[in-house]
Structure 1
Amino acid sequence: MSDWMMTHRALPGRRRRALSPLREHLRDSFWFAPTAAMVVVFVVWLVTEELDTAIVESLRDQGDFETLDDLVRFAEDVKTVVGAVSSAMMTFIGVVFSISLVAVQMASGQFTPRVVRIFVRSRITKATFAVFLATFVLTLLVLTAFDSTTDPRRVVSVPLVQSVLTLGMVALSLLLFVMYVNTTLRLMRVSHVIARIAAESFRAVALMPAAEVGEGRPELGPVTAWIAHEGRAGVLRDVHIGRLVRVARRHGVVLRLVPRIGDFVVPGTPVLAVHGGQAPPARVLRYTMGVGVERTFHQDLGFGLRQLSDIALRALSAAINDPTTAVQALDRVVQLLAVLSRRPLDVSLHRDRAGAVRLVQPLPGWEALVDLGFAEVRAHAAESPQVTRRMLAGLDDLLLLVPPERCEPLRRHRELLRQAVERVAPTPADRAFGLRPDRQGIG
């Protein structure tokens, strides 16, 4: 079954409870996973040290000093290995860091600067850094556990379990390094970057509850209060839906988000409209809105189309002149719009447990999404028959999928594309060739 069919079938009727944005913010950060790994490995080291001490005490109680002597000689050999591993881990960390910087620089320069966050959110990259740092910390801790005495009757602890754990971490580090290199090489290829953007977009669509078909925007009554934005200026990244719904239910009001996710907000501008009562106190609304320096996929339906359009525009620029990449981006634009073609848009309604609407969140409408996916690319694609042919085929496919009331924006873009090609094509044959729909552009 194709990716489009699986995604298209999975979305209708799917309704999931709104989650806290904290997990998304942690995924957008790079410090959490390595820090957590080092804390965990320290706790594990404490446990293994107790196990090693218990093993030595058990052998001493049994009077098995011959085995203890063997363990001490084994520890002397392992100490050299652990020291070498400790030095090698720092070299590996430097190599991984260098590969990441080169990959990010190439991707941001060739595709769009907004794809950098794909590398930041990459699980395999975080896991590699986390395991490498944890292995390095573990080797340092294990080196401190070696006893200076070689007399088995006086030895306190032999890091037997710790050494086995260290070797296991080294094996895991090597495995992750191979996986990391493979993933990084994939992400340096534009087709995989575009596919990752599309996958993140589908996830955002699936997690966003929307109004039921035919429900439309509810009657909220007059605005009884406005709530202004307090804090720093920036892009509205997401809102804590669950907390806002609880606040609205507790105070018996309906909250309506004024800006859309992805809008730039400044202090003093209204961000919430209150319907049906007084505004909740500012303290209960604290930490309900995430403001940052750039947009994210979380709760932002248009951000995926924005990135795909940016990649297509960069590919069509005179400096790069890569229409095939623009066609690959258009493939995903058509796929994403096909998924959204029959989904209720414009507004997302969030209800409390009793089923009452408590939060109204604006979403981009169908026409806005179509314009976002096609307008800028169409304006720069008239001289590239490969792109115009692919865009026409995509528009024709969407016209077969969307409801009749959503066909007008698609027809408008089709007509504007036809006019643009007729203006720039020098001969009737060139115009006819550029206006012939082809799903591969020029196969």
Structure 2
Amino acid sequence: MLSGRLLAGYRNLVASYAFLPGLLIGAGTLLAAALTAVDTFYEPDWMGPLSAVFGPTTAEGARSLLSTVGGSMLSVAGIVFSVTLAAIVFASGQYGPHVLPQYRRDKLAQATLGVMLGVFAYCMTALYSVQAGEDAFVPRLAVFGALVLSAVGLSMLIAFISHMLVMLHVSNVVGRIGNQAAALLAQDLPCDDADARHEPRPGHEADFLTKDGDPLVRAEGAGYVLTVGTDRLVAVATRQDLRADLLVRPGDYVTPRTPLLRVAPTLEEGVADEFRGAFAYGRRRTPDEDTAFTLDELCAIGLRALSPGVNDPFTATDVVHQMMRLVERAARGRQVGAVHRDEDGTPRLRRPVLTFGDVVRLTLERIGPDAAGNVTVTPELIAVYDGLLSEIPEGAEADRLRRSARAFRALCEEKLPIRAAREEALSALDRILARGHTAPAAAQVARLKAGRPS
């Protein structure tokens, strides 16, 4: 069972630009050595008539070909790196710095850079084995492999350029972040039947396993919580016959002495260090376990698009549509992960999870104040409330969404600059709030989005 620090370090390594390119460089070196060994093991004419197909028969020809392919791949690797940096700078300035992890973790860009450098390493390794003179040796199979790998490199370059053009489109950026947020929400609020060991008792989802005054496990470092090893916490609590309430979640900022856990009934010396081993901290948040961070990314793009300096309401509309998807997904989920049990069914750990109200607050209610003054985005947000309230069954979630819609109505009344648009928006919101769980007020919302009075 990995500690929190090891798990966070592994994730950071895999996401870095050193991991995949490094693997491909090593693979290229080993492949060249293997093909050269095959050529060394067999006689020079072991391929018979096919020898001419597998590259030059002279040392000078082999050196020339390997040098050309290797130098070309190294030059293209520089181009790939430059294009990636330019894309990162553009995305950071256009969409905000929060989208940088999307480009840093892009596997196709990493693979393209790795293939180019791997082919270069392959050519240098094969070139080292070429010998002239009386003991002339030409690794024909390795030279032919360089030709094949050069074709692979060119194909990767074409795919990389096409991929970067797609990645820079704002709708694709917003869609990728939305997919990531939906995947994380599925962990906190799954729709299907989960393992019974992780399902809270009906009516006790909010009950704490400990009480005020019980021993606390405090942080010894500072930074954002990157990883919480839930399985490790449950294992330690089970071994020591303890119950624990987790007081932080991924994305929270902690300082030394910040309470991480509250434990009952007692906390023996040394056990606190075992609990602390389940946590990892960092200087920046990551989307690995931090659902709120992905929602922040969406909001950052939407708020930047609505700012006077950018004024791009259609990008904000894309963000609003993704928010609708996430709120609807949260409404269908169940908080089955709030209490974790051991194999005997004994509650061992209660952890805070993102609730439906949190998702509404971090999405619709964050962008609402800026969207309420925009005549293009306001109808879209009203349509979102209309669609959600028609889909979500009556209950706590629907009541929470109505409170959010009422707050948005007050913002529209205050901020919408055009009188006709303001009256139409208020009328649509009043009808949405007045009806129960029925079909959406599609006709009026459609008129509002089209800018036509009723």
Measured against the shorter chain, the TM-score band is 0.7 to 0.9
Task: Indicate the SS of the match to 2:209.
Answer: coil
What is residue 424 of structure 1 aligned with on the other side?
415
Change over 3 Å in CA distance of 1:126–1:351 after alignment to 2: farther
What is residue 384 of structure 1 aligned with on the other side?
374
What is residue 297 of structure 1 aligned with on the other side?
287
Change over 3 Å in CA distance of 1:384–1:20 after alignment to 2: same
Structure 1, unmatched stretches of 5+, are: 1-17
What is residue 144 of structure 1 aligned with on the other side?
128
* 1:219 positional shift: 5.2
What is residue 182 of structure 2 aligned with on the other side?
202
* 1:265 positional shift: 0.8
Match of 1:270 among 259, 283, 287: 259
Match of 2:300 among 310, 314, 325: 310
* 1:140 positional shift: 1.1
Output one character per residue of 1:256-288: Cα deviation in whole Å (capped at 9) or x when no partner.
221121111111211122223425535534642
For the residues of structure 1 that align with 2:418 and 2:28, how far apart are their CA atoms?
Answer: 70
Match of 2:144 among 164, 179, 197: 164
Change over 3 Å in CA distance of 1:275–1:441 after alignment to 2: farther
- Note the 1:331-410 alignment, pairs <5 A: 331-345=321-335, 348-403=338-393, 404-410=395-401
For the residues of structure 1 that align with 2:378 and 2:158, how far apart are their CA atoms?
Answer: 40
Percent identity between matched residues is 28
For the residues of structure 2 that align with 1:438 and 1:322, how far apart are their CA atoms?
Answer: 21
Change over 3 Å in CA distance of 1:442–1:291 after alignment to 2: farther
Query: How many matched pairs?
Result: 417
For the residues of structure 2 that align with 1:409 and 1:145, how far apart are their CA atoms?
Answer: 71
- Note the 1:217-256 alignment, pairs <5 A: 217-218=206-207, 220-222=209-211, 224-231=214-221, 233-256=222-245
For the residues of structure 2 that align with 1:202 and 1:27, how far apart are their CA atoms?
Answer: 22
Match of 2:89 among 105, 121, 135: 105
* 1:205 positional shift: 2.4
* 1:93 positional shift: 1.2
Output one character per residue of 1:16-54: Cα deviation in whole Å (capped at 9) or x when no partner.
xx9955653334322111122222322333322211111
Output one character per residue of 1:114-148: Cα deviation in whole Å (capped at 9) or x when no partner.
11100111110111111111111111111111012
Q: Which residue type is aligned with residue 243 of structure 1?
A: R
For the residues of structure 1 that align with 2:347 and 2:165, how far apart are their CA atoms?
Answer: 47
Output one character per residue of 1:140-192: Cα deviation in whole Å (capped at 9) or x when no partner.
1111110122x4xx33x421222232222222211111111111111111100
- Note the 1:21-60 alignment, pairs <5 A: 24-56=11-43
**Conservation of the 8 A alpha-carbon contact between 1:237 and 1:261:** yes
Structure 2, unmatched stretches of 5+, are: 191-197, 429-444
Task: Indicate the SS of the match to 2:21.
Answer: helix
**Conservation of the 8 A alpha-carbon contact between 2:227 and 2:279:** yes
For the residues of structure 2 that align with 1:350 and 1:20, how far apart are their CA atoms?
Answer: 20
For the residues of structure 1 that align with 2:417 and 2:326, how far apart are their CA atoms?
Answer: 34
What is residue 57 of structure 2 aligned with on the other side?
73
Q: Which residue type is aligned with residue 200 of structure 1?
A: Q
For the residues of structure 2 that align with 1:73 and 1:28, how far apart are their CA atoms?
Answer: 43
For the residues of structure 1 that align with 2:332 and 2:130, how far apart are their CA atoms?
Answer: 66
Change over 3 Å in CA distance of 1:85–1:330 after alignment to 2: same
Change over 3 Å in CA distance of 1:251–1:171 after alignment to 2: farther
Give TM-score, length-normalised by structure 1. Answer: 0.85
Q: Which residue type is aligned with residue 273 of structure 1?
A: R
Larger mean CA deviation between 88-97 and 24-33 belongs to 24-33
Change over 3 Å in CA distance of 1:33–1:370 after alignment to 2: same
What is residue 14 of structure 1 aligned with on the other side?
none
* 1:245 positional shift: 2.4
Q: Which residue type is aligned with residue 88 of structure 1?
A: S
Larger mean CA deviation between 32-41 and 129-138 belongs to 32-41
Task: Indicate the SS of the match to 2:338.
Answer: strand
For the residues of structure 2 that align with 1:348 and 1:163, how far apart are their CA atoms?
Answer: 59
* 1:243 positional shift: 2.3
